[in-house]
Structure 1
Amino acid sequence: MADPAGHPEPEEIEIGAVLHALADANRRKVVTDLWNAPVGEERTCQSFALPVSKSTLTHHFKILRESGLVWSIDKGNRNDVSLRREDLEARFPGLLKAVVSGSLHPAA
């Protein structure tokens, strides 16, 4: 992983890390919101309004970045994120669609 921000190269994205990241409902919400946004849209981490502390929010976005689910874009005084849609679709075809359609959510 040569990227100083901790983004894995597309071929380094591992299914175990992706599934671990998606196991958390807050992180699934981030991925779903980004999936439903226009392709390539960047959002601030705070814009997702997750019901967690700032340190927990930072942790969630670190997991998403290191798993390869999102790009973290340093804007100086804030970080924006965008979904790595093409990389994930190439590596694990259909996975993101399955996640956002709810097939990986636990049964109620």
Structure 2
Amino acid sequence: MPRVLPEPSADSFDLTVILSALAEPGRRALMTELYRSTDPVDCAVVVEKADLGLSNPTISHHYRVLREAGLIRTVAEGRKRIVKVRRDDMDARFPGLLTAVLGT
């Protein structure tokens, strides 16, 4: 049974935490790949496309930071992790921020 991993509510988004999460180049590259897709995607597919050359623990850490900042929603389906950018929540709270930072 799929389960959504813990994430902050849109009302509790902290701009400092969001910008800090996006300041790291590896996380920004992951977010850019995710932002290009409007559909949920398997996190492993995004890592392959981004070709970051990072270890699996580092990539897992980056996904966790992005999720805890409220930038992505992660759904666990068995061993798979399906991720999606929380566009609507972000745009409602900070209009245009993701487009400005990610440049897409």
Decide: shared fold, TM above 0.5: yes
What pairs with 1:18-29 in structure 2 (closer than 5 Å)?
A: 18-29=18-29
Q: Name the structure with the higher helix share.
A: 2
Structure 1: runs of 5+ lacking an equivalent: 103-108
Q: Which moves more between the two structures, 28-37 or 79-88?
A: 28-37
Structure 2: runs of 5+ lacking an equivalent: none
8 Å contact from structure 2 (residues 71, 85) kept in 1: yes
Q: Name the structure with the higher strand share.
A: 2
The one-character-per-residue Cα deviations of 1:78-105 (angstroms, maximum 9, x if unpaired) are 1111000000011111101101218xxx
The one-character-per-residue Cα deviations of 1:4-43 (angstroms, maximum 9, x if unpaired) are 8320000011101100110111111121112211x2x112
Does residue 93 of structure 1 match 2:91?
no
Aligned to 2:6: 6
Taking only the aligned residue pairs, the percentage that are identical comes to 35
8 Å contact from structure 1 (residues 32, 99) kept in 2: no
Does residue 54 of structure 1 match 2:52?
no
TM-score, normalised by the number of residues in structure 1 = 0.82
Give the paired residue count. Answer: 97
Moved over 4 A (4+): none
In structure 2, distance between residues paired with 1:28 and 1:94: 16
Task: Flag the structure with more relative contact order, 1 or 2, with Cα contacts below 8 A and sequence separation at least 6.
Answer: 2
